[in-house]
Structure 1
């Protein structure tokens, strides 16, 4: 009998579920949008019950639309955006709103910890630079600003650990997520009460669930979850993983020689290592889904989500009139050469890899320019922001033969070529699968079920890679000069952003 697995990918707003066979064939996909609440500038929240029901609806959709025998579904695994906070209360309800990884309300805490020496003191243990959207910062903010909600917390969850808890009734902190939270002694793969005390949140120790790995069995579908999802009671649920690991697993990242870039709301740029790389420009070391490896990550909320904002705000007519909006965008951007547009876009709508208060900006606009120039500037600005991160990674490791790419921009042939030209490396993408985050989670479910002994075997069976897209040498030179100007603009504005509010 054919066997199948379901992977679910929880983005910042969109939730996607997909059903795969054991060869990695994507058989059914469902997506649902959840509402993003922005009660104040710098705040991004979601209703936790809405997120839960949207997950259930996506799973039910793929179960019902696929026509497979539900008894042949060997398991499900949940993935989701990293950082952020989804606290579960002692009253068996959400303790607060779900806080998304683009939230910047707690920006003063990592700044203070850097100034008072806390960050340097904890760095050998947490192996990362503290940032505002991590659970450590958000919990410190909650303690100072939402004390009743803070005192009510029973479990500190990431989004995917929260959804898995609702599916199974069993609370766990899966290691790829929690090792990037600022709450964990990554060097020893454990929680440390003293570490939390240094951050001023010692009581959180009692709210951290047992640690599990991505392919560990972590419970089964309950009666209530079965009613909402259509999955049989007792269907196994694996640990799952943070989205950056899920995409890397789905791109078959198994060797330190490889380098990956992921283009979602966040610009994620990463490689793996058998040991953490400390004391360098690298911002983040976390534990990778493949046991025995660390994931070295350079990231910021400066990627393809900027295009979705532009579409929503400025392409209302095109959204109505264009049969295939994204194809029209590709054609519009491609019709302009990089040398013909001197507009620069800083993709800092949701966060920055520069100053913590930097804002999204178009620079160089004149009355001549229109939507086509602005669209090209958005495409280029996102690619330039990725280059900023990738250059930092390359400062501590040899250059790769190619860079493997996933996320929204990987679905655009124009953007993929632009990444090759801006970065100066061939770009590889995964063949035949659109939902890579869901595929990585389905691979975790397959390993948990014993179909494959490990991710290496699962990758060999379930992942296929397209031929690389080579850089256009003429455009490499043009983009090198444009990136120099982009960096100069960023440096010039770094002295101004402190005058702005969150």
Structure 2
């Protein structure tokens, strides 16, 4: 019997199901979408019933495209965006809309916590991370203050990975790699920490937390109801699953310390694994890794390739439509040709890639161009977007190198940017390190399918699964001739970034008065 694995990945608006053979070859995938709901400023939510249906639709679509017998799927595993909040009531009832990880309604609560000196003595030494607005602890506190009736209606607190697994199996669990990124878990004991919950003022919610499970634990089987709705086979085992950044790291073959993995997309994800963890105030996240003894050290922000998609949709709509009509070149290939038309030394235009969030160290940072004149060409603008994204990744990796100076060797890179040879070469030239291009279209789905492989006994551990299932398609070497110019441009980027802090504060503090209309 040929064996197959299924990985299910839920992002902020998309749900994907992908089927792999045990060598990591993608057999089929299907993507569906949910509507992002923004009923109030700072809110990003989704309808839970719609989310369930699109996940089942993704599974049905992948099975149909694959043409395989569903009996040959030996394991299923889920992954999804970290943090956010998904509450489940009795018998699978929906308590309220799910909350996505880009939600910022609880930012004032977080500001108060971080200003409390006890945060540094109670929370950080246990969680090894900085709390932020869309983490469950922040959202649960916000619900206590603004929607107090929600508590009594809730049976389980879930992350999205746990929610989808619950829909598949009817069994509740809270997966450890996901949990370790929520400011709920003591990284030393790998368990919920009562003192942390007490500091956040949400100790009552401990009663609603499911038992912790490991990534490769068998956490239930496909139910008869789910089988009828999806085409899966009743009794197929389902693994605990993975945090999406953990799945992405595994999909690049990150199984040894001192190696750097970069994943590009909406988020700039930059990470390595280590047996040593430290309390570092401005580090994005330290989380559990499914290889014994290791933790995942991550620097990340939503500052990566999606900035180009925004620029295209905002400023290049007519060009995109014309290219589609001609059918000769994609808009992304056209953008690369524009970048190639401008030499690195021919433009000093700077772009801050902060459309979806920033890594500038200040909460009020916004995107923008610096240095445009009446003669600035479209190619210079697009080049600035490309460079700004690479510089944002570089800033994260500099921080990782300050923590661990021994990070060396080729960089494993994956994600949407790898479809652009121009962008890949720019990464190699800015970092002046070889890039090993990982041949994968869906990082999260492939990475989490490794959990299914280990759970079902296909492979004995995650290191073996990654070794067998991750493929390097080629290596991009840096061009030494471009080293100095990119060093200069990156230094200029950092200098201009620092100079923007005052301007961003002024913009945030300035309230524009609405005109007063005279009554007749």
> TM-score if structure 2 supplies the norm length?
0.92
Assess if the C-alpha contact under 8 Å between 1:216 and 1:238 holds in 2.
Answer: yes
Assess if the C-alpha contact under 8 Å between 1:91 and 1:152 holds in 2.
Answer: no
Equivalent-residue separation in structure 1 for 2:256 and 2:317 (angstroms): 44
- Residue 213 of structure 2 corresponds to residue 205 of structure 1: no
- CA-based RMSD of the aligned residues comes to 1.9
* Match of residue 429 from structure 2: 421
Q: Among residues 349, 352, 357, which one is paired with 2:355 in the alignment?
A: 349
* Match of residue 446 from structure 1: 453
* Match of residue 435 from structure 1: 442
Answer with 169-178 or 336-345: which moved more.
336-345
Q: Secondary structure at the match of 1:362?
A: strand
Shift in Å, 1:353: 1.5
Q: Secondary structure at the match of 1:373?
A: helix
Q: Secondary structure at the match of 2:475?
A: coil
- Residue 384 of structure 2 corresponds to residue 377 of structure 1: yes
* Match of residue 333 from structure 2: 327
Answer with 243-252 or 363-372: which moved more.
363-372
For 1:144-159, list aligned pairs within 5 A.
Answer: 144-159=145-160
* Match of residue 279 from structure 2: 278
Assess if the C-alpha contact under 8 Å between 1:212 and 1:239 holds in 2.
Answer: yes
Answer with 299-308 or 312-321: which moved more.
312-321
Equivalent-residue separation in structure 2 for 1:57 and 1:494 (angstroms): 45
In our comparison, the structure showing a higher alpha carbon Rg is: 2
Equivalent-residue separation in structure 1 for 2:505 and 2:48 (angstroms): 33
Shift in Å, 1:351: 1.8
- Relative to structure 1, the CA distance from residue 439 to residue 363 in structure 2 (aligned partners, 3 Å threshold; closer, same or farther) is same
Assess if the C-alpha contact under 8 Å between 1:277 and 1:296 holds in 2.
Answer: no
* Match of residue 296 from structure 2: 295
Answer with 89-98 or 235-244: which moved more.
89-98
* Match of residue 186 from structure 1: 187
- Unaligned residue ranges in structure 2 (runs of 5+): 510-520
Equivalent-residue separation in structure 2 for 1:43 and 1:340 (angstroms): 42
Shift in Å, 1:66: 1.0
Shift in Å, 1:500: 4.6
- Relative to structure 1, the CA distance from residue 88 to residue 120 in structure 2 (aligned partners, 3 Å threshold; closer, same or farther) is same
Q: Among residues 462, 465, 485, which one is paired with 2:469 in the alignment?
A: 462
Answer with 240-249 or 356-365: which moved more.
356-365
Equivalent-residue separation in structure 1 for 2:155 and 2:399 (angstroms): 38
For 1:135-150, list aligned pairs within 5 A.
Answer: 135-150=136-151
Q: Secondary structure at the match of 1:187?
A: coil
Assess if the C-alpha contact under 8 Å between 2:129 and 2:281 holds in 1.
Answer: no
* Match of residue 401 from structure 1: 409
Answer with 378-387 or 87-96: which moved more.
87-96
Equivalent-residue separation in structure 2 for 1:50 and 1:364 (angstroms): 45
Q: Secondary structure at the match of 1:487?
A: helix
- Relative to structure 1, the CA distance from residue 26 to residue 471 in structure 2 (aligned partners, 3 Å threshold; closer, same or farther) is same
- Relative to structure 1, the CA distance from residue 271 to residue 125 in structure 2 (aligned partners, 3 Å threshold; closer, same or farther) is same
- Unaligned residue ranges in structure 1 (runs of 5+): none
Q: Secondary structure at the match of 1:298?
A: strand
Equivalent-residue separation in structure 2 for 1:104 and 1:255 (angstroms): 35
Q: Secondary structure at the match of 1:467?
A: strand
- Residue 112 of structure 2 corresponds to residue 112 of structure 1: yes
* Match of residue 419 from structure 2: 411
Number of paired residues?
501
Answer with 113-122 or 196-205: which moved more.
113-122
- Residue 479 of structure 2 corresponds to residue 472 of structure 1: yes
Equivalent-residue separation in structure 1 for 2:236 and 2:316 (angstroms): 43
Q: Secondary structure at the match of 2:75?
A: strand
* CA displacement, residues 25-50 of structure 1 (integer Å, 9 cap, x when unaligned): 11111112222223344332222222
For 1:16-415, list aligned pairs within 5 A.
Answer: 16-90=16-90, 92-121=92-121, 122-279=123-280, 281-322=282-323, 323=327, 324-354=330-360, 355-397=362-404, 398-415=406-423
Answer with 46-55 or 246-255: which moved more.
46-55
- Relative to structure 1, the CA distance from residue 308 to residue 225 in structure 2 (aligned partners, 3 Å threshold; closer, same or farther) is farther
Equivalent-residue separation in structure 2 for 1:221 and 1:90 (angstroms): 20
Q: Secondary structure at the match of 1:156?
A: strand
> TM-score if structure 1 supplies the norm length?
0.95
Q: Secondary structure at the match of 1:468?
A: strand
- Residue 13 of structure 2 corresponds to residue 6 of structure 1: no
Equivalent-residue separation in structure 2 for 1:346 and 1:326 (angstroms): 20
- Relative to structure 1, the CA distance from residue 311 to residue 415 in structure 2 (aligned partners, 3 Å threshold; closer, same or farther) is same
Shift in Å, 1:4: 0.3
Answer with 342-351 or 71-80: which moved more.
342-351
